[in-house]
Structures are given as structure tokens and as C-alpha cells.
Structure 1
């Protein structure tokens, strides 16, 4: 991946690719073991922050490298073991069920490709797998095989207990191959069944290009599911939606919209090129070209173009254009004029602005926090408000306008 971030922690639609695999695995079983080596402590820390009751096994790579070496010394509890890869974020429960439902000794996923280069070849005869040969160990004739190993297996525990200790590294890579158990099983007259799967679902991620391809597939899946469940989208291919986001009621997303994090959108219209980050939006319209930053709650509110909301609660508010509202609480009936800024940061700390009901804040005003503006207040346009304002009052802070007669002609030395 050419990155300091562990491959399995790269994000796809807002979630680490390993977590996609864990989520699907948990739909199958609660008995989950993660095998780790490279940056194991970091990966384990991330997993433990998001999941409970995950077991771990650390691979002894110095002595037992390779996919088969990963299972050396691993204690297995269940009668049947499903072996997944942490870099396959697109697998689904339905496909895994195909692998675990059959009563064969081993079920393995296979894909038929036009170009099979780069994959281990699967030799099949009479609908049974005879052998898997890693590409570097293939003869020229074997490289012509189009059926390849998709990398996921369902194996009886008793076979793993027997075969894993007998794996060796007598191959071009000097690694212990998990794929060698297939030949061992065949030699023991065990049944090895190929399960044909779709490439796009069993796609591994080994580069930033693969990551981008997987992101596209996941996004299409997320958006198709949302549209089937009633979310309207204009030019869906231009929209990005985090897998953690949720929608309910009648929602409409216009082109270029980005929904990030655990955002909740309820009966709302998110307009062109707007961004929602971990926000709660209900019965509101946002944008176009607006940004709602984390920890904001917006209800029954109109947010117009070029408005940024950060860590604020707005209930029944209108903020039509060109405003920044940060660390604020604003109540119903209040209008925020164009160019209004809540000055929430003094260089050291963030401070809160509280605005009551039915407040009119004139254009180009600066509200310097900490500040409380009570109900039924007028703020004159162009004001800098530095003190609390009581209910029913007008607050205005402007330098008196001065007119210098004839100054234009004097300045440019033009007569009239």
C-alpha cells in the first residue's frame, strides 16, 4: 500500500477494511479470532475500541511465514472453521453462507477470470478441486488455467488439526502455504468443493488503486440499498455516503453531496455540494454548498449557501448565506443575516454563544463569545456584540458614518 498505516486499517466508506470483514463474520458467528503480525498492537487497539469478545493469535513469522504459517499454533474450538482475509472488505453474509452450508470436508471460493495472472490457479476435475498451485510454482501450461483461488475457505476442524502441523515450506517462496491443505485433503480422499463467486465481491485490496476500486463498489452498494429504501438521489454517482450514516423519512440528496460519519438525516433535503460530518439533520434543508461539522443538531431549520455550522444546536432557525456558526445554541424563529460570525475562539479557548427565540441578527455582525442574546432581540447590521443582550432590546455597534464633501475630486485632483 506504500503507507505507514496498516493495510487492513485503510478506510472504505468510513470504516477500516478489516472492520467490514469483522461485521460480516459476526453475522455468521460470535467465535472470531484475528491473526496478527505486522503492527499487531496498533491493529488490536483499533479493534478493541470498536468490538468486544474478539480473540487474537500472533503469527510467528520468523519460524512460520505465509498463510499456512498464520495458523500454526492456533487453537480451534468450532467443528467447522471459516477462514477469511482482512483485506477483502466487500464480502457479504450471503456469499459466506454458500461456503458454510455445504457438508463437504472443505469448501473453497474460486473465481473464473479472463486474465488469471497474479493468482494461485485451481485445478478442478469433475466439479471437485484437485489442487491449488501458487503462480510462482506454476508451469507454463498450468498458468493457462482461468480458475483461480478467491482466498476464503470453510474447513472441518479435524482436517485443520491434522494438516496444519504437517505443512512445509518446500516451495519457491519458502513459505508455509495454507493452499497445500487442499492437496493433502485430496490425497486423503476428502471432498473439496469449489464455490464459484463474483470477483467484485471477493476482491482483495493490495494497492491504493485497489482501494479506490473497492470504495467505488462499496459506495454503489450503499447508495443502491438506500434508494431501494426510499432515499432520493440526484446523480447518485457524484454522491459520497459513509456506511455509518442513517436515513429515515423522505430524504433527498442532490448531486455532489458528502455524508460522513454517524450522521443521521431525517426528512431533509441536502442540496448540491454540501457536506455533513457526524451531524443530526431533521426536517431541514441544507445548502447548496454548506458545511455541517461534527456534533451539530439541526431541526426545522433552513441553512443556505456558504454557511458553516460547527458543534451547534439550531432549532427552527434561518441562516441563508455566508455565515459561520460555531459552539452555539440558537432557538426557533431566529434569523441569522448574511455574513454573521460567532467569534467563538479567543486564541486559547472556545466559548459558547446562546441565542434565544425570535432574534434578528443583521448582516455582517460579529457575535463575540461568551455571549447570551435573549428572546425578542434586534441586532443592527454591521455590529460587533461583546456583551449580553436582554429580551426586547436593540443592540447596535457602529462607527458613525462621516461624509467629506468633495473629497473625491480633491483626492484625484479632478476639478468640477
Structure 2
């Protein structure tokens, strides 16, 4: 695709007061990434000139977006002196002859949905959609295939109120149109803001061509509240899961599964109901069983769960992790950990069995330490491995052992239990029977 046909400006300066949150609206997450991330990602698929206009929490927005993307341009809006969408465009200097202006709160936009703005040649292209109930929206009056005017509902005639075509809020301008009309914008209105929509009426008065572009309402859905955020996430979740099911992943009761944008699958995979897969997780030829959580981890040729938890930086290969097992920042290759264990900061090699209730005690309150376990090690139930510790190949750790030594040599049995004592008739003495 020729990406130098269009420049894209994303308006991300607003506070988003209806979100009722101290966080900037565009930084609220959908499927694991800030909503602004999704818009920039789609934009970069069709343009090499992306400008993000920021104001509220500008440093946080710029820092986070720069961690995801290179070569973004940021413009800081002078929101005190030049508020509004028109004010946001005053410092923007696009390099291409066509300029697409997007809103930073439309995370469901796709590059495919934006193609119409590239392929239509007009002075101004204005997005519209038709609503069964347009109440509350400004009506777009179209005649002979061109936008004649935008009428706010309070100013509309009885005839105009019957119009179901409304403004979707996205525009493409020729660069010359912006250069001519942006300096002419006025804030002489009730809100004392500079409105980008005022360019429509000025351009129309000058006889410019303003073409309407019918867009998919779902893809151009704005997020203005926590309810909108939830609705958008449901839509994106469905899109993510449909993509992976079409790629061959089996999902049981997919409506109960949560999969973030960065998760990928390879080969034949099964994800059962109630699972949560987050971060940059990779699942390859594996079975994730009901109720399991996998965070920022790699799972290859393994089965996880049910009700297991892989915390970030876990790596499983040819491994079985059963119910109520938690793994954190550990590498398990060819391992069985059937149930009720915590494995943290560990490296465990093939043929090793981790019994029920085994804990790697990796944290002393100040620092974290590693547990290294070799091949064909049998760790008995209810053992505590106090790191740092190294267990060589072909070792048996007896059930109930608290292992405190730094190293257990190959072929050994390690056993650390107190000797059993029995006191005859203690029960009767204690309860005085």
C-alpha cells in the first residue's frame, strides 16, 4: 500500500470527564491496550505520517504511545487559549495532500474501514451513518450526493428532524482546505471553542465539494463512558476470538473467554471456558483448561489447568501443570506439576515431577532467589525448597522435606523431617476424660 497518499491526525487532547476517572480517556484499556493504541495501529497500516494531538496528561500519553510506536509526531494543543477540535488542528503540519482527522476515542476503527477516505476525491469527505433513532444527533442534510449542511437537533425543522443521517465525526480534508479555513475559525459560540465542523459551512458557502461517506457505525463507535468502554471491549473481544477460531483454535463457550490483543496461537490449540489470556502470550499446540489464567507467558506442547495460573515470564514446554498450580517467571521443560504448588523463579528440567503442595520459597523479604532443578527429579508432596537451591539430576526429595542446603548432588535422597513422637493416652489426659 502507498502510505504517502494521506496524513492522519488523531485528536487525543480531551479529559473525558464522562469517564469519571483521573486517567486520560484515551489511556483507558480495551483488550489489554490503551484505546489510543488501537487507533494508531490501524492508522499506521495506511499512512506513514501520524500526528497525535495531546493536552490533558500529555506527558503520560506521549510516553506510553512512544513505547509502542516509533516515528509518531506529537502536537501539544494550547487548550486554554484555543480549545475545541478546531483549536487542536492549529499546530498540525501534515506532509501529505490529504489529511484524515480521527478521534482518539474510537478504538474499533480498522484500516479497512478507513479505505473510503483514501479512495474518494473531494475537497472534504465527511463520515455519516444512518440511525433508526437519531435523537440527540445533529442531522446531515444531503442533496445531489453532496453535504449541504449540518443541522443541530435543537435548530432542526420538523422535516429535518425526520432525517436519520447523522455526523459520524470523522473527516478527510485536502491540505489546502485546512490551510485556508483553520485560521478563519472563531470561538464566538456558547462554549467559546473552535469547532472543526465550522469548516463545513464555510467551505460549502465557497462552493467546495463535500462528499458524504457512509461508514459502519460499530467501527466508528465513540467511547465516552465506562459503559461505552465495556461495550467496545465486547465487540473487540468477539473480533479477536473469531479471528483465532478461523485460524483453527478450538474455544469452548467463547463468550466466557477473555483474550487480549497481544495473545497469539500456533498449531492445534484448545481454550476451555472461563480462561483469561493476557499480555504477549504465545500458546502453541497446547490445551488451556477451564478457569486458567495465562499472563505474558509462552506455552508449547503443554496442558495447563484447570484453574492454574501462569504469571508473567513463565515458559512451559512439553509440560503438564494441573489445578491450583501457580507458576511465576519460571522455565519448565518436560515437567509434571499436578496440583496445589507454587513455582517461582525456577528452572526445572525434563522428567521431573513436582508433588502436591510443593513451594519454591523464592523471596526472603528483600531479594528473590532461583531454584534450579535438573532432570528426573522427584519432589515429594508438601516440600519447601528454600532458594537459592540447586537440585541435580536423578534426585528424590522425600515428602514433607524442608530443603535448606544450597545443593543436592546427583542420585541422592534428600529427607528433612522431624522424628515422629507419640505420647500414650495424651488425648484423655488433655481433655481429662
TM-score of the two chains, using structure 1 as the length reference: 0.96
- Superposed structure 1 runs of 4+ greater than 4 Å apart: 134-144
Q: Is 1:190 paired with 2:223?
A: no
**Secondary structure of the residue that 2:427 maps to in structure 1?**
helix
**Contact 1:137-1:172 within 8 A present in 2 as well:** no
Q: Is 1:54 paired with 2:79?
A: no
Query: Unmatched 5+ residue regions in structure 2?
Result: 1-18
1:34-65 superposed Cα distances (whole Å, 9 cap, x missing partner): 11111112211112222111112122222221
**Whole-angstrom CA distance in 1 between matches of 2:73 and 2:270:** 42
**Contact 1:137-1:171 within 8 A present in 2 as well:** no
Deviation at residue 122 of structure 1 after TM alignment: 1.5
Q: Is 1:366 paired with 2:409?
A: no
**Whole-angstrom CA distance in 2 between matches of 1:201 and 1:11:** 17
1:161-204 superposed Cα distances (whole Å, 9 cap, x missing partner): 11111112233322211111112222222221111112211111
- Which residue is 1:265 aligned to? 283
**Secondary structure of the residue that 1:49 maps to in structure 2?**
helix
Deviation at residue 75 of structure 1 after TM alignment: 2.0
- Which residue is 1:39 aligned to? 57
Q: Is 1:205 paired with 2:205?
A: no
Q: Is 1:375 paired with 2:384?
A: no
**Whole-angstrom CA distance in 1 between matches of 2:102 and 2:52:** 10
TM-score of the two chains, using structure 2 as the length reference: 0.93
**Secondary structure of the residue that 1:195 maps to in structure 2?**
strand
Q: What is the aligned counterpart of 2:425 among 401, 406, 409?
A: 406
Q: What is the aligned counterpart of 1:225 among 233, 237, 243?
A: 243
Q: What is the aligned counterpart of 1:179 among 191, 197, 200?
A: 197
Deviation at residue 135 of structure 1 after TM alignment: 4.9
1:298-323 superposed Cα distances (whole Å, 9 cap, x missing partner): 10000000000000000000000000
**Contact 1:353-1:372 within 8 A present in 2 as well:** yes
**Whole-angstrom CA distance in 1 between matches of 2:330 and 2:28:** 30
- Which residue is 2:234 aligned to? 216
**Whole-angstrom CA distance in 1 between matches of 2:95 and 2:380:** 69
Deviation at residue 123 of structure 1 after TM alignment: 1.7
Q: Is 1:12 paired with 2:30?
A: yes
Query: Unmatched 5+ residue regions in structure 1?
Result: none
1:235-267 superposed Cα distances (whole Å, 9 cap, x missing partner): 000000010111100010000000000001100
Q: CA RMSD in A?
A: 1.5
Give the count of matched residue pairs: 414
